[in-house]
Structures are given as structure tokens and as C-alpha cells.
């Protein structure tokens, strides 16, 4: 089989994407990319799959198309804990996201909201973010951490070197390595070179994701692939659930 890059993370109209499953498949064919659908499965996203019954309907539909079956689960939301094993086994791979961070006092800070607790500094936020990422890696049965550099809107203007100190980068990479969770090079929230290099050097598997929601975005993983190659990652080592399996497939009966 000729090697083909996998877009491990794209959205359809099952959540907040604009394309049908069929249209995602068409766009991927144009790019020569193996498509995956990773629609939101969470109760804390605006347009999303938010019940176990809808997860079953979603998987039924994906099984009618030449597409890998995935889902993007919010760590801070409870729904991923409720998915029964017989449905878990129908996913090729599962994507985990830190769409919110829990502060030490229990407050949730959402990545897509401008509202942050008064007095929360970038440093305190990032410390909480890394601690939350560590607990995510220990606890959550997923194969990929989506967009690892996504931070709350109020801190996106802060200098990258201030947010991503060497200690924080090392802790994130170490947590992913220990858990066997892949680091996504997202085309939507592009990570900085230094962090990806740190992940590669540590032996963390790299995954490519368009995080595409529109016709223009879906399956476009040209830049993530170029970045992985520039850092010396071999094509066949890029995460492909058909080749590398899924660590969430805990009952060993993958389709």
C-alpha cells in the first residue's frame, strides 16, 4: 500500500463543520489524504454530538464511508466517561482536547471565552494548563492531544516564550510520552518549532490534523506534514491508527 498522510482530525455537520461526511471524503481525495472524522463529542461545545445515542448514530454513518472513525472529546466534560465499550471499539482513534483548563480552586477557564477570573495572570494560567494536561495524559483514554498549544483567548497575545517556558514544554512532552499519546501538529493552531522538536526528540509520536471545519480547511495538512518532515520525522512514523493501533482500544477488538 502506498503511504498516504492521515488527517486525523476534521469536522463535519455532525458537529460544527460545514461539510457532509461525503464532502469530507471528496476533499481528502483531492489532497491525496486519508480522511478521518473527529467530530465534537462533548456537552460543552455549541454544535456537537452530546448523547451516547447520537454517538451510535454518528458511528453508523461513518461506517458507510471510506473514512476513519474518530471523535474529539473535551477532557473537562463528562461525556467521554459515559461511552460504553462496544462503542469505544468502533473508533479507529480518539482525540482529546483541553478546550478548558481547571484552576487549582476548581474554576473552569474555557479556551474560547474571553471571560477569565479577575487577577488570573498568564503565568498562573499556564501553570494550571500544564498541570491539567498532566492529569489529562494520565487519565484520558485517547490517542492524540489536539492542538497542544491552544490557550484561552485572553492569553493568545502573550509572548510565546513567556507562555511556553522550557519547564512547561518539558512537562507536557514528558506527560504525553509516558502515556503514549501523540502530539498533534494542527494546521489551525500551529505549534512552534521548538516544542514540536522537543516532542520528536523525546520519542513522542506525531499526528497531523487539519482541524478543518470548512471546505478550504478540511484535509489541508500540507504545512503540518512539511513541519514534521523538516524535523526529521519519517512519513511511516506519523500516527496512522491502521498502522499503529489505538491505545483506547482497551478490549482489543478493533475493526
- Could you list the residues that contact Zn ion (CB under 5 A)? 72, 97, 146, 211
Residues 238, 191, 231, 140, Cα dihedral to 10°: -40
Q: Of 150 and 228, which CB lies nearer to Zn ion in the complex structure?
A: 150
Tell me the three state secondary structure of residue 76: coil
The distance of closest approach from Cβ of residue 15 to Zn ion in the complex, given in angstroms and rounded to an integer, is 8
Nearer to Zn ion, 11 or 205 (CB): 11
CA neighbor of 71 nearest in space, from 91, 99, 50, 87: 91
To Zn ion, the closest distance from the beta carbon of 75 in angstroms equals 11
Smallest distance, Zn ion to C-beta of residue 9, A: 6
Shorter beta-carbon distance to Zn ion: residue 97 or 217: 97
**Of residues 72 and 143, the one with the C-beta less far from Zn ion:** 72
C-alpha cell at 110: 474555557
Nearest distance in Å: CB 144, Zn ion: 11
- Min CB(111)–Zn ion separation in Å: 8
- State the minimum distance, in angstroms, from the CB of residue 201 to Zn ion: 26
Angle between helices 166-179 and 193-202 (to 10 degrees): 40
Which contacts qualify for 106-115: CB closer than 8 Å, 24 or more apart? 108/76, 109/152, 110/44, 110/152, 111/150, 111/151, 111/152, 111/153, 112/153, 113/152, 113/153, 114/153, 114/154
Which cell numbers hold the place of 19? 461539510
Distance CA 68, CA 49 (A): 17
**Contact, 79 vs 43, CB < 8 A?**
yes
- Report the residue number, 47 or 168, with the smaller CB distance to Zn ion: 47
In the complex, least distance from residue 119 CB atom to Zn ion, rounded to whole angstroms: 27
Which lies closer to Zn ion via its Cβ, residue 72 or residue 127?
72
- Mapping DSSP to helix (H, G, I), strand (E, B) and coil, where does residue 184 land? strand
Nearer to Zn ion, 5 or 148 (CB): 148
Residue 53 makes CB contacts below 8 A (sequence gap 6+) with none
SS3 of 14-29: CCCCCCCHHHHHHHHH
CB burial of residue 157 (10 Å; 0-12, 13-18, 19+): exposed
Amino acid at each position: 500500500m502506498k503511504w498516504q498522510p492521515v488527517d486525523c482530525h476534521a469536522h463535519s455537520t455532525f458537529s460544527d463543520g460545514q461539510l457532509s461526511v461525503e464532502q469530507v471524503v471528496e476533499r481528502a481525495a483531492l489532497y491525496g489524504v486519508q480522511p478521518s472524522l473527529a467530530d465534537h463529542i462533548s456537552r460543552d461545545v455549541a454544535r456537537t454530538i452530546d448523547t451516547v445515542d447520537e454517538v451510535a448514530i454518528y458511528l453508523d454513518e461513518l461506517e458507510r464511508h471510506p473514512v476513519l472513525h474518530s471523535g474529539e472529546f473535551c477532557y473537562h466534560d463528562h461525556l467521554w466517561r459515559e461511552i460504553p465499550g462496544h462503542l469505544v471499539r468502533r473508533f479507529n482513534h480518539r482525540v482529546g482536547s483541553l478546550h478548558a483548563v481547571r484552576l487549582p480552586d476548581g474554576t473552569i477557564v474555557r479556551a474560547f471565552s474571553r471571560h477569565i477570573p479577575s487577577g488570573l495572570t498568564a503565568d498562573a494560567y499556564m501553570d494550571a494548563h500544564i498541570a491539567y494536561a498532566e492529569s489529562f495524559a494520565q487519565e484520558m483514554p485517547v490517542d492524540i492531544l489536539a492542538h497542544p498549544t491552544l490557550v484561552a483567548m485572553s492569553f493568545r497575545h502573550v509572548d510565546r516564550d513567556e507562555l511556553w517556558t522550557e519547564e512547561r514544554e518539558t512537562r507536557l512532552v514528558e506527560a504525553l510520552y509516558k502515556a503514549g499519546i501523540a502530539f498533534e501538529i494542527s494546521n489551525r493552531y500551529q505549534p512552534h518549532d521548538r516544542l514540536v522538536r522537543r516532542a520528536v526528540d523525546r520519542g513522542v509520536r506525531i499526528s497531523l490534523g487539519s482541524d478543518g471545519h470548512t471546505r478550504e480547511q478540511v484535509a489541508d495538512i500540507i504545512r503540518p506534514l512539511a513541519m514534521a518532515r523538516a524535523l526529521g520525522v519519517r512519513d511511516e512514523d506519523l500516527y496512522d491508527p491502521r498502522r499503529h493501533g489505538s491505545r483506547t482500544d482497551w478490549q482489543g477488538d478493533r475493526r
